[in-house]
Amino acid sequence: MNRPLTAPEVPLAPEDEGRLQLYALLARLFAAGPDDGLLRALAQSAGSLEGEGDLAQAWNELTVAAARTSMPLSSVWARRPSAPT
């Protein structure tokens, strides 16, 4: 009988778990603009990355921007008037 191949479940170090989540977020943002659920999740994660480094500062700025955003960017682009032909 053929079973699908799956990766063994190995506990990840906190740094690796964080890297995994960050890469998943980047992939999600490349695939589609943020929706309301993603913006809320980002806003709620404010302060979850501690430290003084560039990554922590960028993450905290992203969470502030997400909290200030009232609608997904895709909705803004959809409402733009079309270019004249």
- The structural domain count of the chain equals 1
Give the count of beta carbons closer than 10 Å to the beta carbon of residue 63: 20
Cβ contact 43:66 at 8 Å = yes
pLDDT tens for the chain, residues 1 to 85 = 576 767 668 888 888 888 888 899 999 999 998 888 999 999 988 888 788 888 888 888 998 999 888 655 555 555 555 555 5
Q: Evaluate whether residue 65 is within a structural domain.
A: yes
Pair of tokens at residue 20: 């995994």
Q: Is residue 27 part of a domain?
A: no
CA–CA distance, 45 with 68 (Å, rounded to integer): 14
Q: What CA–CA distance (Å, rounded) separates 76 from 21?
A: 27
Domain contains 8: no
For 66, the domain range is: 33-76
The two structure tokens encoding residue 74: 């895709």
pLDDT at residue 23, as a whole number: 93
